[in-house]
Structure 1
Amino acid sequence: MTPIPDLSSWSTSITDVEDSSIRYRGVPIEDLIDDGDLATTLWLVLFGGTPGTGSADALRRALIAALDHGVSAPSTLVARVTASTRSAVPFAVAGGLMAFAGPAHGGAAEGAANLFVEIAASDDHETGARDVVRRLLDRGDRFPGYGHPYHRRDPRVPALMSGVAEDRTHRRIARLCEAALRAESGRDLRMNADAAVAALLLDAGLGTADITLVTGLGRAFGLAAHAREELMGEKPFRAPSLDTIRFVSPAKQEEA
């Protein structure tokens, strides 16, 4: 039989709490409160160690870029509808984050990161990018992180791509993918923030599994703002009006 975990014993390397003392990864909390900035402190708690200038800068840029994209984003819509039921802000944020994590939404950044890492392992990055693009197009799949329903040019991309992280390998790969995608598809598909965030955070030394973690943290602040606005300024219980709902009978579904 598999032994049941002992809930009376825990281990952690994140926070050490003792009488009159709190330390994050060994750093006294009062020192961080006095002199720490948010990006550096988040890096310390999440990943351990003090980030270099480029890594802290990358985290800061990614968090700001992910923070909000207006009411039209599905995650924001979920958060606001949840808040309209007069649910508390944290619950509205949780609902929005579940939508945000989907691969067709904020999870696209992690999807792009996985492809960038695959290309980075190839002998020739330009050829690798072209091969991945062709594979996706042949299957009828999208390349996550390219094209946008609202922006011909995503205004977040230049600021993300200009991060000061010294390693630029994955940002160069992101540009190679953009060129290959436009050439192979014949469409003007430009990089969006998902691909740019993925490339920047990979260049900062994070792994693919950390991408959605970072973007989700950033988006949580924006979702909180929208939930708060909904609670303070809108009437309760947002729902579609009955005259906008089209009922499809089972018979018509079978005919289709």
Structure 2
Amino acid sequence: MTVPADAATLAADYWRTSIIDIHPGSIHVRGYPIQELIGQISFPKMIWLMVRGELPDDGQAALLEAALVASVDHGPHAPSIAISKMAVSCGLPLNGAMASAINVLDDVHGGAGQQAVELYQAIDRDIVAGTPLDAAVARGVDARIALHGKYLPGFGHRFHPVDPRVAPLLAMTDAAAARGVVPGRYAGIARGIEALLTRRKGRAIPMNIDGATAVIYAELGFAPELARGIFCLSRAVGILSHAWEQTGRAERNKGPMPRQMAYRYDGPAERHLAADAKDAGEPA
């Protein structure tokens, strides 16, 4: 393959970015000199600037910060946290433990926020097309269940009868909607799903942290994929904290359960090659 004469231009175009511009003695983030951002904007505002290209207003940043704070940790039984602790005990440094843990934040453990945003947005598109809220909620939920099974992301919790993180997040969203910071549509959709589940199940299936933060991400206009990415940023704080705590413990090769607790074997009973050969009519 022939390399174009102007290889420098080729390389510059190949690695082009609208996010950051760096030269000796100069760093601009989305056009802003970094020295004007340091000490002047919060980390949530920096996240917004990096992924969205512009700075949020204070109300938008406050909602994003609330979602970040709410999702940092959920105890050592959460798979990502447990993995970080086991990884450190196996000799990995903090960055290796964090990478190992973050890698499991996929569709099952870590993907519910993205999936809930996708559900809310599908229902919202139906409403914009003219379908009443209750009918759009029912159609959206039924379509999700038909495609993915009965599990509905963002609702119900295996541990909390009522997730204590939801009420303050929704209260902040409602207050922001009242001030015109966000439209408030997605909070209404999420509550509509709660009401539908209560009618169908005959008992409350409350919104959980993923459903509540998905309301915020949808209200703020984040793409579903970014909802998962931002959750990873939040949970990374908990992962780091538990990994660092583990470094202070004299434990090696920490497994998924205490050594004193035996697992259950459900395979074949003890057998031997000689007996297997005899049964098969082969020379032992």
Structure-1-length-normalised TM-score? 0.89
Work out whether residues 44 and 50 of structure 1, in 8 Å CA contact, stay in contact via their aligned partners in 2: yes
Whole-Å separation in 2 of the counterparts to 1:7 and 1:91: 31
Counterpart in the other structure of 1:232: 248
**Residue 110 of structure 1 is aligned with which of 106, 111, 114?**
114
Deviation at 1:148, TM superposition (A): 0.7
Counterpart in the other structure of 1:172: 188
Q: How does 1:148-227 map to 2 (within 5 A)?
A: 148-161=157-170, 162-163=172-173, 164=176, 165-227=181-243
**Residue 144 of structure 1 is aligned with which of 142, 153, 163?**
153
Whole-Å separation in 1 of the counterparts to 2:186 and 2:261: 49
Any idea what the Cα deviations from partners look like across 1:168-214, whole Å, max 9, x if unmatched?
A: 11111000001101111223210001011111111011111111011
Whole-Å separation in 2 of the counterparts to 1:121 and 1:146: 21
Any idea what the Cα deviations from partners look like across 1:107-127, whole Å, max 9, x if unmatched?
A: 111111111111001122221
The percent of aligned pairs where both chains have the same amino acid is: 31
Instruction: Say what the alpha-carbon RMSD is for the aligned residues.
Output: 2.4
Deviation at 1:56, TM superposition (A): 1.2
Quickly say closer, same or farther: Cα 1:44–1:121, change in 2 above 3 A.
Answer: same
Counterpart in the other structure of 1:13: 18
Quickly say closer, same or farther: Cα 1:129–1:84, change in 2 above 3 A.
Answer: same
Q: Secondary structure in 2 aligned to 1:34?
A: coil
Q: Secondary structure in 2 aligned to 1:23?
A: strand
Counterpart in the other structure of 2:7: none
| Residue 83 in structure 1 maps to residue 88 in structure 2 | yes
Whole-Å separation in 2 of the counterparts to 1:142 and 1:89: 34
Q: Secondary structure in 2 aligned to 1:152?
A: coil
User: Structure 2 counterpart of 1:155, which letter?
Assistant: P
Work out whether residues 27 and 34 of structure 2, in 8 Å CA contact, stay in contact via their aligned partners in 1: yes
Whole-Å separation in 2 of the counterparts to 1:58 and 1:212: 16
Which ranges of structure 2 fall in alignment gaps of 5 or more residues?
Answer: 4-9, 271-284
| Residue 32 in structure 1 maps to residue 17 in structure 2 | no
Counterpart in the other structure of 2:75: 70
Q: Secondary structure in 2 aligned to 1:99?
A: coil
Q: Secondary structure in 2 aligned to 1:213?
A: helix
Which ranges of structure 1 fall in alignment gaps of 5 or more residues?
Answer: none
User: Structure 2 counterpart of 1:121, which letter?
Assistant: R
Whole-Å separation in 2 of the counterparts to 1:59 and 1:137: 29
Deviation at 1:134, TM superposition (A): 3.9
Query: Bigger shift: 25-34 or 191-200?
Result: 25-34
Q: How does 1:87-102 map to 2 (within 5 A)?
A: 87-101=92-106
Deviation at 1:31, TM superposition (A): 1.2
Work out whether residues 62 and 214 of structure 1, in 8 Å CA contact, stay in contact via their aligned partners in 2: no
Work out whether residues 86 and 231 of structure 1, in 8 Å CA contact, stay in contact via their aligned partners in 2: no
Deviation at 1:58, TM superposition (A): 2.1
Whole-Å separation in 2 of the counterparts to 1:92 and 1:237: 13
Whole-Å separation in 2 of the counterparts to 1:199 and 1:40: 19
Whole-Å separation in 1 of the counterparts to 2:22 and 2:143: 51
Q: Secondary structure in 1 aligned to 2:203?
A: coil
Quickly say closer, same or farther: Cα 1:246–1:51, change in 2 above 3 A.
Answer: same
| Residue 245 in structure 1 maps to residue 269 in structure 2 | no
Any idea what the Cα deviations from partners look like across 1:98-143, whole Å, max 9, x if unmatched?
A: 2222x33221111111111110011222211122334556775111
Whole-Å separation in 2 of the counterparts to 1:91 and 1:126: 47
Larger Rg: 2
User: Structure 1 counterpart of 2:157, which letter?
Assistant: H
Counterpart in the other structure of 2:135: 127
